[in-house]
Structures are given as structure tokens and as C-alpha cells.
Structure 1
Amino acid sequence: MALILASGSPRRRELMSLITPDYTVITSDVDETKIAADSPAHLAKALATAKARAVAEENPDDVVCGFDTVVECEGEVFGKPKDEADAVRMLRALSGREHRVHTGVCICRGRRAAATVETTVVHFSPIAEDDLCAYVRTPEPYDKAGAYAIQGHAALWCAGIEGCYYNIMGLPVHRTAQLLRELT
């Protein structure tokens, strides 16, 4: 039995290494545009479940961990920005406001599965327009939900958080370790 991380994210690989160094990476080919849910939190959970189950189907004897992160601001879902204009739109919406980061976690082992969603509240200070424009010209915002990396330059805008810091990076370490213990 192997442990598989169903994600190509370098941040998730780094965070999974805090739980165990003994895992492999197999990404799923799930079409995320075909998955819908009644809330941003449920969307994150549904996406994580779809990714984990897709990889688990091909690896039925292994434990598969799937994740997905979305940012929610006043009910609007912010995934990864499509381009610079989309990143600017998202960051302007988050500037000076509170938002939620939802990470869906799904762990599959054979026919058994456990899924949950972790939510962290993030408080951003107002972002100066010149800082925002400079940031979107870097590579940092483009493979991250909400167009920012809390562990990067966006740390300068973060006035506080309520909940799991690692959740904002896309893998709630404590909750994932708990689910793994329950399922293995």
C-alpha cells in the first residue's frame, strides 16, 4: 500500500512532507469546470473528492489524498486567475476586506473515503495600487486560488487569520494527518 498525493502543487508536496516523506505524486485529469456545488466550501470538497476518486480508481490498493482550494469573498468564488486582468480583479476585491479560504480534503482507501473542508478566515489590509500592479507582473499569483500566495509577497497584506495557516497554502496539515490516521 502506497500513499499518493493527487496534486501537482509544489506547496502541497512541501506540506505533505510535514506529515510523511513517503508518498508519490499522481495528478488527476478531472475537468473541474464540470463540477458544481451549492456553496464555495462544498465546491472545494466536491473538487477534492473528484480528484482523489479519479486517482484512486487507477490505484485501488493505495491511499489517495486529494485537495482543492477556493477563495470566497462575499459569496463569489475565486479560483486561479486566468490572466493579469483577472488577478487584478481578484486582488482589488480582496483589498481591505475579509475573505474565506476553503480547502477540500478527500482521502480514499479502496472503497472507503473520508472528505471534509477546512475554512480559514483571512483579513487583508488595503493593497496599494502600485504594489498590486507590481505583484501581478510576477509569476506568484497565477497558480493560486485568489491570485495570491500567503507565504510570499501577500504576507505584507495579511492583517490576520482565523484558523489554519497551512490551509491557506492548500493543505491543512493537522486535519489531513487526522484523516489519514482515521482511514489507515
Structure 2
Amino acid sequence: MLQNKLITKNIILASGSPRRHELFKELGVNFTIKVKEVEETYNTNLKKEEITNYLCKLKAASFTNEISENDIIVTADTIVWHNNKALEKPKNASEAIEMLQGLSGKKHTVYSSICIKTKNNETLISDKTNVYFKQLTLNEIEYYVENYKPYDKAGAYGIQEWIGLIGVTKIEGSYFNVMGLPVHKLYEELIKI
């Protein structure tokens, strides 16, 4: 099992996301959380998973000078890609409402990337999931934003929350990828270490 293979390793999840913490716990491996402030800016020429790949590597690079032999650093990044642009975290309620109105009744794609960094190696993996929303009413959107305050979520929603329960009609790909961590791919990479 994965737990036995990683027993001598010090896994550090470099993410403040409660969803990623929960998914990591479900994997059944021991880990610690260490978040570093990194300015998440990128070249506007980057598209789709190029953005999440770049940001993951940027976050991992902040640990370069402090990785010991037994450390495994895991960083992650997620964006919602819609109308040929990245939807990141909304700054306020009106931005969240605007984002959800844009996603309403349409398909969008969620890209997540993971960077796994050890003292001598770095592995980058990414995944994508297509998500389809029903036509959401303004009342539904406002209710969700007011009650769930999705300001820490790319695209202004969490698929595991109320809006996902009532609004998502179909997904193509990994559900957990939409939550921000393609756990199936992470598991495969960790087994190799």
C-alpha cells in the first residue's frame, strides 16, 4: 500500500485549500501543511494547463533551498477555463455573480496541475475535466454567493457545494480534479517514488 511505501518520507502539502487537505487525508498518507506566500502572476500568453503548470512549478520553486533527502513537496493549482480565458478566484460578490452568470447554461473546463518535488527530482502532472452547468437563475446564483462566499475558489464555485448539487448536469473527467486535486494521478506518481 501507498502508506507503507511512503513511511520514511516527509510529505509536505504546500496548499492552503481545505478541499486539498481533505482529499490528501482520504489518501491515507501522513503529511504536513506548509504554505508559502508566492505571487501568482503569469505571462498572459499562457493558456489552459500551461497556466496551472507554471504556477505549480513557481510554488514548488519557493522550497528549493530547504528540501532534505526525505522531503516530498506537493504543490497544486487549479483554474476554470471559459471563453478562452482563465477564471481565477473572484475578489468580491459582484465578481462571483458575474463569473457564475457566465458559466450558467454552458460547458467550461477545469484544469489542475500538481508538482511533486524532491531533492533531486521534479514531476509535473495535470488533468482536465469538462463541467456542464444548467441555466442558473439569478436567485440561485445570489443565494449561493451570499451563503457560501466562494472567494477562495477558481471560477467562483465548489462542485461539492450547493451550486454543484443543483447546477452541474454532467462532467467529463475526474470529479476530484474539479475540487482541485486529480487524486488518481497524484496516487500513481507517489507510488513511483
Q: Which TM-score bucket, shorter chain as reference? A: over 0.9
For the 8 Å contact 1:124–1:157, the answer to whether it is kept is yes
| Residue pair 2:82, 2:108 contacting (<8 A) in 1 also | yes
Residue pairs, 1:15-94, within 5 angstroms: 15-33=23-41, 35-36=42-43, 38-61=46-69, 62-94=71-103
- Within-5 A mapping of 1:58-137: 58-61=66-69, 62-137=71-146
Long gaps (5+) in structure 1: none
Deviation at 1:52, TM superposition (A): 2.0
Rg (Cα) greater in structure: 2
Structure 1, residues 35-90: CA drift from partner, whole Å, max 9, x if none? 23521211011111211221343223310110000000121111110111110111
Task: State the distance in 1 between where 2:131 and 2:12 align.
Answer: 30
Letter of the structure 1 residue corresponding to residue 184 of structure 2: H
Q: Which moved further from structure 2: 14-23 or 160-169?
A: 14-23
User: Per the alignment, in what secondary structure is the counterpart of residue 49 of structure 2?
Assistant: helix
CA RMSD of aligned residues (A): 1.3
List aligned pairs for 1:2-17, cutoff 5 A: 2-17=10-25
Look up the equivalent residue of 1:107 and give its one-letter code.
I
Matching residue's letter, 1:132: I
Tell me the distance in 2 between the aligned counterparts of 1:140 and 1:165: 21
Query: So what's the TM-score if we normalise by structure 1?
Result: 0.94
Structure 2: runs of 5 or more not aligned: 1-8
Equivalent position amino acid for 1:178 in 2: E
The answer as to whether partners of 2:67 and 2:118 remain within 8 angstroms in 1 is no
C-alpha contact 1:66 1:107 (8 A) present in aligned 2: yes
Query: Is the aligned partner of 1:167 residue 2:173?
Result: no
Number of residue-to-residue matches in the alignment = 182
- Which TM-score applies when normalising by structure 2? 0.90
User: 1-side partners of 2:187 and 2:161: how far apart?
Assistant: 25
